[in-house]
Structure 1
């Protein structure tokens, strides 16, 4: 297969490129939030239609593009990848809509209940025009929520509702949307264009728009509490058929769920053994918990305050970019810009947002620090910087964006959770092999995260497929899942509870990290076996990155076609 290398001569647009690019723009017309996420021209203040009619329109678009693609013939390997993967994604979109997921899409992290607010984190705030766009988007929040409520009501009518646990989770998050309080009020009150105050008229417009957005979220809370809760599904598990669909959606690959469950149990045991061995390196004879307690007392490994955290993140990230760019990856100049940010929210999440398509907005690593948390341990978090930055998410996503001369717009922005998160976990182990985690404490921190990812393969599949508990005392339920995760992670109880609630409400997503890593390692090993002595790891990695964010079945086929 031809290497799809950044810096190669510009490739003429093909019919398949045109279909794929038009699909991105048509999707953004239906979902204007994408214009902000991707840095595209177009409506920067609107929302998609979350109602059943809006979802039906999106499914109709998918079927139309599917028919166009099926009739188009690839002219080269790049076209073959685009056609193969876009057809896969379109069919999944059609299947997910047919499953009725949109009528029950409610959880504590990744549903319209939170997504309608989250888009504001990425909106520019440098000018009066930027703030005018924010005011308009806040005015559009009530309509977006009305559409979302229409879908949830459709679920009530069809007996297809979210679990009661998820309704309770979102209501707990919505306590901030009381009259005169919360995110939107704070956003409007802090508005400035650089160092300059805004005109009073615009400040008043922002305040009024913030009230409307706040009231709309309060109205959604009333609907959840007074209407949806009465029809809530009492069962948390989604069952094998629906779980299989969601697993394919997040991986872009079909896996044997029973074999994967058994592998997850074995992988978890391996992580435990590895952690215990490293704990004894840190402190002779120590258990994992004793080694952690020992490290937690080490002031040389502590950061105090979010300013120190942000500076350390940036320093660590910059060093990785500079060094790896000289030795193991070809990192283009625009990709070297990675901003480390403290998020305006306080959920505890750490995440990455990609650059604008023209790099006018750089890639960003965000840390959402929970209220009251002021100390951070570098040994726990070093691998997180590599996971979110370089060689993890930033290198992967920004490289596809940079490779615009070879990849159409859809190829630059597409991808699955299994591809993105699988690569990031693969990158953590790569950094270990390159010597960046030689300190046993840093390696213990990496394994802490890897062990959590293995544990949630077992937990997620166990819960949703109704597997027997590992102790043989019945099927998985919330209390058992909570105790299981708590025994396998070094995190406080509220965070563990948040995570378990996430797995219960977002089936198939959490295991995609570790399963994705497994698939990346399998693809590497298969390529190495096929190429023999000619195999070169750097060339393999750049080939993978230059293909872009495709589903993992497509990635495997694409890499091995070129091996």
Structure 2
């Protein structure tokens, strides 16, 4: 395999210095974020989710934004950094002013989950790392109590998540509080802890602190469950839709771009129809002329060569598929830096059905990881559905994208390498990568291609659903007519997502409680493709051949930025 030459050094600018200092100040106020970024020194501490903690982080953002606006860029890298910080930090302040941070509660991405999920990326190899975990567990109640304080403050201002999100939050918190079911119970006594802690007296003390910490964490989540059930739920609205004003702000945040929401909704309907038509064509390749999509799916599901049994087989297949893709792409379609060649495929300790990626640490001592959270009732897996998922989460998807940004130490400041993440850029690239792998011939098998289209169909469907429900748009007659709501959305999603009912239900709950995020995948892909096509048209207009490999290298070298910033930087 070939690897790129070392990136030429660049003298850090005043803007770089400000951005680097911002990261160091930000992680002091958000130790959970420090752990996620792989920045050492904070793994024993917890994040303050109280109104005071939120205000401290907002005050830092206000100061940094004013400082960066006062500086003059010295090169193109600075121009992008200034534009990206203006866009991201400005939106952070808009969300803060709107009270969105204080009221944040949903089924997938709120402090309720963050306080637990941080332990997935905590170091677990040495006694010192487990000592940090024990300290964090014992202090977790501070985070929980601060979070309750913020939710209570938001409620006093009339800002409460819909009852569906509150009710599901009660279930999640109650499970984490249950000694028999809690993640914390199994975590502190699991194989990772046993492997790291020997029989010495010092390790015995750590094990005891871990036991105390698990109890403290469970009790904290018990307080959260009680608060959500007894105090917040009676104040929660029944309506899921957030309305156009809140949705437009969320859409800008997740995309890093301003789009016409009504035009995007209509495009979503057209894109869904286009993907379904392509699915139908491929289904006939699988099951014969005139076969339906459902018949092709049934045929593929019954093919024993496309079925894996058990999570061990799933993890091995994920790893093998990822490794093969990296070997095939490196030096041919992408130049992959040596540290990014390593990707670990993991079975997640949770069991909610999600599939996700965590980036490498700053020094690559923690590699990038693809996680699969497998529900306990799911024991078999169809490879035809999931090959495209490996490309999405791995290479050329999130792992290449995030790993490349972390690697760009000689060019990018720490904020752009590590801390900036825009969903539309990241998830849009991952969907772009899925389609790219199909175009490059890696999904020529009709079953694998049908799996890719199956995933694209779901992403197109949720553009329609998300905008439709939250903006209260008219539903097409085929989906019930009238105004979009959760009930119509359920039938629509069941018809367009070929997944177990429990997974589809979780997905719907996610969209209802996290407005604007789900469309950022497919809309992000659209904006990525538009940016690429504009670059190609510009090259053609200059009489040059378009070098897509160079375009991808330049684009990924920017790190994660808002899609409007990306378009300007690549134009």
SS of 2:66 mapped into structure 1:
helix
* TM-score (normalizing by structure 1): 0.97
SS of 1:101 mapped into structure 2:
coil
Distance 2:553 2:440 in 1: 16
Counterparts of 1:15-54 in structure 2, within 5 Å, are: 15-54=14-53
Any conservation in 2 of the 1:329–1:542 contact (CA below 8 Å)? yes
Q: Which runs of 5+ in 1 are unaligned?
A: none
User: Is the aligned partner of 1:530 residue 2:538?
Assistant: yes
User: Is the aligned partner of 1:183 residue 2:180?
Assistant: no
Aligned-residue offset at 1:200: 2.5
Counterparts of 1:122-137 in structure 2, within 5 Å, are: 122-137=121-136
User: Is the aligned partner of 1:174 residue 2:185?
Assistant: no
User: Is the aligned partner of 1:370 residue 2:375?
Assistant: yes
Any conservation in 2 of the 1:6–1:405 contact (CA below 8 Å)? no
Aligned-residue offset at 1:517: 0.2
Which 10-residue stretch deviates more, 282-291 or 76-85? 282-291
Q: 1:407 aligns with which of 397, 409, 412?
A: 412
User: Is the aligned partner of 1:220 residue 2:240?
Assistant: no
User: Is the aligned partner of 1:275 residue 2:279?
Assistant: yes
Distance 2:410 2:68 in 1: 21
Which 10-residue stretch deviates more, 343-352 or 7-16? 7-16
Counterparts of 1:486-497 in structure 2, within 5 Å, are: 486-497=494-505
Counterparts of 1:438-517 in structure 2, within 5 Å, are: 438-471=444-477, 473-517=481-525
Give per-residue Cα distances to partners, 1:104-151, cap 9 Å, x unaligned.
211110001111000001111111111111111101110000110001
Aligned-residue offset at 1:241: 0.7
Distance 1:488 1:467 in 2: 19
Distance 1:479 1:235 in 2: 12
SS of 2:496 mapped into structure 1:
coil
Distance 1:166 1:545 in 2: 35
Q: 2:436 aligns with which of 430, 436, 456?
A: 430
Any conservation in 1 of the 2:174–2:221 contact (CA below 8 Å)? no
Q: For residue 554 of structure 2, what is the aligned residue in structure 1? A: 543
Distance 1:281 1:420 in 2: 32
Aligned-residue offset at 1:92: 0.2
Aligned-residue offset at 1:7: 2.3
Aligned-residue offset at 1:6: 7.2
Aligned-residue offset at 1:8: 2.7
Any conservation in 1 of the 2:360–2:368 contact (CA below 8 Å)? yes
Distance 1:54 1:21 in 2: 21
Give per-residue Cα distances to partners, 1:509-549, cap 9 Å, x unaligned.
00000000000000000000001133111111111011111
SS of 2:361 mapped into structure 1:
coil
Which 10-residue stretch deviates more, 140-149 or 41-50? 41-50
User: Is the aligned partner of 1:246 residue 2:224?
Assistant: no
SS of 1:372 mapped into structure 2:
coil
Distance 1:254 1:135 in 2: 44
User: Is the aligned partner of 1:258 residue 2:262?
Assistant: yes
Any conservation in 2 of the 1:6–1:546 contact (CA below 8 Å)? no
Distance 1:195 1:102, change over 3 A: closer
User: Is the aligned partner of 1:349 residue 2:342?
Assistant: no
Give per-residue Cα distances to partners, 1:272-314, cap 9 Å, x unaligned.
1111111111011211111101111100111111111111111
SS of 2:331 mapped into structure 1:
helix
Aligned-residue offset at 1:338: 0.6
Which 10-residue stretch deviates more, 304-313 or 467-476? 467-476
SS of 2:351 mapped into structure 1:
coil
Distance 2:271 2:383 in 1: 26
Distance 1:223 1:129, change over 3 A: same
Any conservation in 2 of the 1:6–1:402 contact (CA below 8 Å)? no
Aligned-residue offset at 1:178: 4.2
Which 10-residue stretch deviates more, 473-482 or 261-270? 473-482
Counterparts of 1:178-217 in structure 2, within 5 Å, are: 178-181=177-180, 182-190=182-190, 191-194=193-196, 196=198, 199-217=203-221
Q: For residue 396 of structure 1, what is the aligned residue in structure 2? A: 401
SS of 1:366 mapped into structure 2:
strand
Distance 1:195 1:437, change over 3 A: farther
* TM-score (normalizing by structure 2): 0.96
Any conservation in 2 of the 1:250–1:418 contact (CA below 8 Å)? yes
Q: Which runs of 5+ in 2 are unaligned?
A: none
Q: For residue 150 of structure 1, what is the aligned residue in structure 2? A: 149
SS of 1:100 mapped into structure 2:
coil
Give per-residue Cα distances to partners, 1:134-173, cap 9 Å, x unaligned.
1111011100001100011012211111111101111222
User: Is the aligned partner of 1:10 residue 2:12?
Assistant: no
Distance 2:439 2:106 in 1: 37
SS of 2:346 mapped into structure 1:
strand
Q: 2:312 aligns with which of 307, 310, 323?
A: 307
SS of 1:192 mapped into structure 2:
helix
Distance 1:156 1:81 in 2: 38
Say how many residue pairs are matched: 556
Which 10-residue stretch deviates more, 188-197 or 231-240? 188-197
Please report the RMSD computed on the Cα atoms of aligned residues, expressed in angstroms. Answer: 1.2
Aligned-residue offset at 1:52: 1.2
Q: Which runs of 4+ in 1 moved over 4 A?
A: none
